[in-house]
């Protein structure tokens, strides 16, 4: 499986009684994996219409130039594509046919997209948009150029050094913990589904991909399908049938197997299916011979805590995150202190921005990728003491104290409440980035365009109407939903023309970023004469704005988010009619 690629099959639906007609468990061999087939009932028509109603209607080829196919599964192919409108910008695209039998697979992949929308975490691959034509479904995702952990293992004699392994497993565990708290189980965790964000061999930042077999446990829905890759699947998953169910602990077993394979280059259980099942249930695997002589006792204790045949005996995910083996490893180099100070100064400034700008900033930040967010990513991870992928008010408070931007309790609570756009009591990754990145948000034309297209949903005509904005804002998972302040600001924007163009949108966002200028003190609109003139001045003006706004520019370091300009952020922008993923 290739970077950003689809797994062994399509995802399960929200109810096991509506699963696809064939669920498979592959044995993990490459490239031609053997599969064991389990029969299920599946009512695909009703569910397909439910999930496809939010898909984009634009033409994918209008935005992206397909470079090549990099992977193919049973139900989908994976493509690498270049954004036609921005230099050096790439995305990964899953392509699923909706003809005949494949319609059921398309339905399941839309379930995958719905799950990915709920997973806003620094170590989970981002969904950008979906395109839905009569014959084909496309899922556009972040392109992770570093490739799979599996590929890196092959390049390094089949295994990974212990320090690097603990770094990777720590990030993966954080992603799984985040999903589990939202009652989502991945069900296909393996080195092929963990990807490096960068080709830099010293950058070990990874993201979990391929949520195609993920399951959202909600209501009466239960997991009972035998899915995934047999080398990494838990015994209760391999033994599953329609009469038995299993829980999220199946991911903990898989995490233990991934750790074992990364450290030794060999699976812990081998042989025939029956022989493998016996060894798994008796927990018989080698931790003494070969490479294990040089592996620490903490690493072995970590593996033993996860490879328990009884799910309830496995180390809980919160204890996984606290384990000595992960705690003793530095997850990444800390962000420079001056970056931290600037981020927290931006957080304080965010309190003064309008509700409309906060919504727009979140939309922009959602479409920036790792190359743009590298330093703020380090700040976020450094603050996230329990590694659960969100920040509490206490973690934000310690951040203010660490970086010298001391806030009194009232100011702190007010800042926290404004940062918590969805009102869930914690600061999610995108919320933190939207506020902490400050003026840099306004400089990313590709992300501004992506955010603009979030609202241009009805006819993809290059304008946002009042009706389109209200339609989208009511779907956003945020407390700012069409409140009086947002309505007043937006009414002002529509007062003259009834709709706004991208140029007007960009001017509004940049005006706010410049210094929180009230909308009644600047006009985002241009006359026809101005429109004819704008192209002549945009390049020089853009350079001047970039220079004046980019406070971090003088702080550039190798790998800094500020070393990236608007043209160098791979696979961040999403074009065409956009499925809302804030």
Nearest Cα neighbor of 19 from 255, 178, 215, 285 is 215
Q: What is the DSSP string of 456-517?
A: --SS-SSEEEHHHHHHHHTTSSSTTTT-HHHHHHHHHHHTTTSEEEHHHHHHHHHHHHHH--
Query: Is residue 476 within 8 Å of 507, Cβ to Cβ?
Result: no
Give SS3 for 392: coil
User: What does the alpha-carbon distance between residue 513 and residue 155 come to, in Å, rounded to a whole number?
Assistant: 45
Query: Is residue 570 within 8 Å of 372, Cβ to Cβ?
Result: no
> Is 95 one of the annotated binding-site residues?
yes
Query: Is residue 2 within 8 Å of 30, Cβ to Cβ?
Result: no
Catalytic residue among 120, 132, 188, 210: 188
User: What does the alpha-carbon distance between residue 582 and residue 359 come to, in Å, rounded to a whole number?
Assistant: 9
User: What does the alpha-carbon distance between residue 443 and residue 566 come to, in Å, rounded to a whole number?
Assistant: 7
User: What does the alpha-carbon distance between residue 314 and residue 305 come to, in Å, rounded to a whole number?
Assistant: 6
417-422-423 Cα angle (round to 5): 45
Q: Helical H runs in 81-189?
A: 102-117, 149-155, 162-181
Within 13 Å and on the Cβ side, how many CA atoms surround 256?
31
Any catalytic annotation for residue 188? Answer: yes
Query: Is residue 326 within 8 Å of 170, Cβ to Cβ?
Result: yes
Beta bridge partners of 314: none
Question: β-strands 127-132, 499-501: how paired?
Answer: unpaired
Bin 140: left if φ > 0, else alpha if -120 < ψ < 50, else beta. Answer: beta
Query: Is residue 181 within 8 Å of 141, Cβ to Cβ?
Result: no
Compute the radius of gyration of the chain from its Cα atoms.
24
Peptide bond into 503 cis (omega under 30): no
User: What does the alpha-carbon distance between residue 579 and residue 582 come to, in Å, rounded to a whole number?
Assistant: 9
Which residues are known binding-site members for ATP? Answer: 95
Catalytic center residues: 188
């Amino acid at each position: 499986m290739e970077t950003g690629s689809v797994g062994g099959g399509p995802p399960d639906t929200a109810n096991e009684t509506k699963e696809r007609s064939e669920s498979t468990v592959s044995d993990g061999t490459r490239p031609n994996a053997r599969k064991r087939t389990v029969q299920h009932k599946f009512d695909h028509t009703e569910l397909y219409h439910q999930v496809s109603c939010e898909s984009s209607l634009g033409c994918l080829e209008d935005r992206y130039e397909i470079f090549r196919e990099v992977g193919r599964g049973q139900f989908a192919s994976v493509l690498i594509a270049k954004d036609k409108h921005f230099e050096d910008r790439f995305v990964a695209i899953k392509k699923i046919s909706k003809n005949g039998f494949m319609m059921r697979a398309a339905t399941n992949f839309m379930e995958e997209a719905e799950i990915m929308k709920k997973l806003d975490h620094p170590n989970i691959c981002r969904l950008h948009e979906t395109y839905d034509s009569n014959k084909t479904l496309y899922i556009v995702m972040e392109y992770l150029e570093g490739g799979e952990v599996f590929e890196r293992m092959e390049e390094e004699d089949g295994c990974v050094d212990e320090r690097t392994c603990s770094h990777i497993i720590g990030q993966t565990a954080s992603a799984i913990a985040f999903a589990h708290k939202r009652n989502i189980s991945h069900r296909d965790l393996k080195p092929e589904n963990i990807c490096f964000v960068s080709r830099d061999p010293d950058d070990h930042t990874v993201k979990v991909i391929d949520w195609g077999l993920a399951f959202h446990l909600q209501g009466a829905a239960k997991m009972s399908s035998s899915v995934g890759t047999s080398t990494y699947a838990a015994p209760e998953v391999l033994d599953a049938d329609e009469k038995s169910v299993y829980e999220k602990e199946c991911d903990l077993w898989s995490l233990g197997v991934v750790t074992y394979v990364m450290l030794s280059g060999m699976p812990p259980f081998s042989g025939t299916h029956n022989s493998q099942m016996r060894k798994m249930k008796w927990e018989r695997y080698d931790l003494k011979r070969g490479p294990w002589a040089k592996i620490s006792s903490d690493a072995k204790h970590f593996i033993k805590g996860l490879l328990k045949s009884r799910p309830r005996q496995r180390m809980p995910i919160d204890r996984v995150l606290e384990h000595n083996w992960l705690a003793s490893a530095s997850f990444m180099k800390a962000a420079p202190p001056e970056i931290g100070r600037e981020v927290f100064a931006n957080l304080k400034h965010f309190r003064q921005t309008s509700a409309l700008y906060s919504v727009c900033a979140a939309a922009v930040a959602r479409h920036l990728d790792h190359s743009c967010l590298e330093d703020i990513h380090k700040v976020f991870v450094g603050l996230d003491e329990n590694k659960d992928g969100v920040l509490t008010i206490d973690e934000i408070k310690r951040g203010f104290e660490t970086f010298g931007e001391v806030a009194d309790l009232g100011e702190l609570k007010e800042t926290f409440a404004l940062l918590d756009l969805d009102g869930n009591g914690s600061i999610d990754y995108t919320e933190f980035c939207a506020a902490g990145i400050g003026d840099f948000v306004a400089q990313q034309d590709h992300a501004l365009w992506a955010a603009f297209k979030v609202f241009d949903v009805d006819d993809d005509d290059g304008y946002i109407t009042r009706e389109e904005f209200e339609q989208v804002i009511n779907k956003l998972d945020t407390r700012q939903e069409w409140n009086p302040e947002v309505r007043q600001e937006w009414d002002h924007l529509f007062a003259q023309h009834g709709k706004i163009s991208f140029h007007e949108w960009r001017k509004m966002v940049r005006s706010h970023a410049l210094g929180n200028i009230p909308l009644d003190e600047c006009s985002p609109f241009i006359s026809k004469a101005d429109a004819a003139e704008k192209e002549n001045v945009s390049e020089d003006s853009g350079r001047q704005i970039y220079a004046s706004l980019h406070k971090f520019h003088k702080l550039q370091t190798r790998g800094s988010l500020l070393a990236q300009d608007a043209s160098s952020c791979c696979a961040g922008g999403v074009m065409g009619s956009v499925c809302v993923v804030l």
